[in-house]
Structure 1
Amino acid sequence: MKAIKKINNNVVICEDDNKKELVAFGKGLGFPAVPYKITDLSLISMTFYKMDRSYYKLLEEIPPEIFEVSAIIVKKAQRTLDCKLNPNLLPGLADHINFALARMKKYKKMKMLFSYDIEQLYPKETELARYAVKVIEKNLFVKLPESEITNIAMHFVNAEEEHVTSSSDVNMDEIIQHITNEIEAIFQVEIDRKGFNYNRFVMHLRYYMKRIEEKKQFVDDNSALFKAVKSESPEVFECAMHIAEIIDERLKSKSTEDEILYLMIHIKRILKNNISI
């Protein structure tokens, strides 16, 4: 196996003997100058094929200790869940943990609730998420709210589905394109459709519409956080409400406050790195 690009000291992009690209994790893999041949394969703790390249930048930005904890959790998930997991679970989970820690610092007094509905629907994933929270708390010296069990459980649920498709005649791609155009028009920006934040937003929209179809919308009473984000970014709130109306009109549904909260968070992320037209 050949390391062809360093992400950080413990993560490298590699080519296997069949010239297929993969991401390899292992202590010290990024220390030698690349390219180089990895002769001792015991140094590699985990590999991922078919990871979306838009996640590579994220691998560079998130602190190594968060990725190390995420790798421990994903390894446990691979052993526990009897299915093929999406290769983007690791960077997605690391991104979520990083965001959760930042959110805790900014909104110290906010309380978000554990979802018993999610626990009933996905008991195996919830139990795995309890384990994940314990690992995060032990290794990163933090105390997470119980709601993080719900949030992390949903990452496992999402990773178990290779492709998110609609069970009805709803054209998800058409709706997402329409929503993207609306955001560009409202904020007078040109969205980078190949960027990581946009890809994350698209995936969120797909699961959002799937939850509506399956009547499993988030209902976790995040009203305090919802009000705080709305107050901070009223234009983003108006945009999120507009998007929710588009989806609700097409799917004959009523989006919950929690779903609109997550829309606001994703819209803010997209706008953060886009330049005005």
Structure 2
Amino acid sequence: MKVIRRFNNNVVLCVDDNQKEIVAFGKGLGFHDIPYELTDLSKIEKSYYGIEKRYLSMINELSEQSLELAMTIMDWCRINLQGQINPNLIFTLADHIDFCIERNKKNMNVKMPLYNDFENMHPKEFKIAQKAIQLISKKYNVYLSEDEVVGIAMNILNSEMDLDSNKPFKDFDRIQEDILNIIEKELNISIDKKTTSYARYVSHIQYLIKRVEEGSEDSEDDFKMYESISKQNPEVTACSLKIAEYFKDKKNFSLNHNELLYLMIHISRLTNREECYQMGITSKE
């Protein structure tokens, strides 16, 4: 196996004997001059095929502990869930864990959509997420609310539906593109789809579209937090409301304040990291 790119001292990109790319994790794999032939495969602790390049750029932004936790959760998913799991889950999960811990430090508890229904709708994913939250809480020595279970479960569910062979709706790509066009028009920006921010955004939009197509509505509605955040960022709020109008017009689906708030967070992260930091939503990078 040939190592062709170093992400850091412990994560590298390799090419196997069939010329397929594989991301390998292992202590010291990146210490050597690149490229080099990796003859001792026992040095590889974890390896994953099929990871999209846009997620690879996230590696050095993620904490080592969150990556390790994400790999453990990924193993649980492979054991307990039927079908394929998208390997990108490692990076979306690690990013979500870092985001979750940062919000915990800021005492910002965002109500997740559909907490009351998610356990019944997706019991296997929910059970894994509950176990994951317990593990994350122990490793980081923090208390995480029950709402965080849904956030983890959403990432797991996205990994099941994100494979081309398993896309749930025929107009999925069109809806996603329409939403992106709304963001670019309303905020007068051009979004680079190769960025890590876009990868994070897509993860949320995929689940939102799935909920809309299934007609699953959340009964809880946190207007107080929505009002507070929306006043700090009126342009992103207006953009989110335009997206809400799109779903109401095209799908007869109403986004409540919880979903609007979470949408605002992801649009802010997608369009302006510094602005999002000022809102107190995520860490400055």
- Say whether residues 1:112 and 2:111 are aligned partners: yes
- Say whether residues 1:123 and 2:126 are aligned partners: no
Query: 2:169 is aligned with what amino acid?
Result: S
**Unpaired runs of 5+ in structure 2?**
275-285
**Unpaired runs of 5+ in structure 1?**
none
- Give the TM-score normalised by the residue count of structure 1: 0.88
Q: Where does 1:60-99 land on structure 2 (aligned, <5 Å)?
A: 60-99=60-99
**CA displacement 1:107-150 (0-9 Å, x = unmatched):** x1646378131011111111111211122122222221121111
State the distance in 1 between where 2:108 and 2:244 align.
28
2:24 aligns to what SS in structure 1? strand
Contact 1:3 1:35 in 2 (8 A): yes
State the distance in 2 between where 1:220 and 1:154 align.
17
State the distance in 1 between where 2:230 and 2:187 align.
16
Q: Where does 1:135-146 land on structure 2 (aligned, <5 Å)?
A: 135-146=135-146
State the distance in 1 between where 2:102 and 2:47 align.
28
- Say whether residues 1:157 and 2:157 are aligned partners: yes
Name the counterpart of 1:18: 18
Query: 1:164 is aligned with what amino acid?
Result: K
Name the counterpart of 1:133: 133
Query: Structure 1 73/206 Cα, relative in aligned 2: closer, same or farther at 3 Å?
Result: closer
State the distance in 2 between where 1:78 and 1:3 align.
26
Name the counterpart of 1:259: 259
Q: Quote how far apart the aligned CAs of 1:166 are.
A: 1.9
State the distance in 1 between where 2:73 and 2:55 align.
18
State the distance in 1 between where 2:145 and 2:238 align.
29
Query: Structure 1 122/174 Cα, relative in aligned 2: closer, same or farther at 3 Å?
Result: closer
Q: Quote how far apart the aligned CAs of 1:8 are.
A: 2.1
- Give the TM-score normalised by the residue count of structure 2: 0.85
State the distance in 2 between where 1:69 and 1:111 align.
22
Q: Quote how far apart the aligned CAs of 1:221 are.
A: 4.1
Query: Structure 1 172/84 Cα, relative in aligned 2: closer, same or farther at 3 Å?
Result: closer
1:143 aligns to what SS in structure 2? coil
State the distance in 1 between where 2:14 and 2:61 align.
19
**CA displacement 1:157-206 (0-9 Å, x = unmatched):** 22122243426xxx343343333333223222222133232244344333
Name the counterpart of 2:277: none
Percent identical:
38
RMSD after superposition: 2.3
State the distance in 1 between where 2:67 and 2:187 align.
33
- Say whether residues 1:184 and 2:187 are aligned partners: no
Q: Quote how far apart the aligned CAs of 1:61 are.
A: 1.0
1:197 aligns to what SS in structure 2? helix
State the distance in 1 between where 2:38 and 2:140 align.
30
State the distance in 1 between where 2:218 and 2:49 align.
31
Contact 2:158 2:206 in 1 (8 A): no
**CA displacement 1:23-43 (0-9 Å, x = unmatched):** 112233223332222222222
Query: Structure 1 57/198 Cα, relative in aligned 2: closer, same or farther at 3 Å?
Result: same
Query: Structure 1 102/220 Cα, relative in aligned 2: closer, same or farther at 3 Å?
Result: farther
Q: Quote how far apart the aligned CAs of 1:55 are.
A: 0.7
Q: Quote how far apart the aligned CAs of 1:232 are.
A: 2.1
Number of residues of Structure 1 aligned to a counterpart in Structure 2: 270
Q: Quote how far apart the aligned CAs of 1:220 are.
A: 5.0
Identify the range of structure 1 (8-17 vs 112-121) with the bigger mean alpha-carbon deviation: 112-121
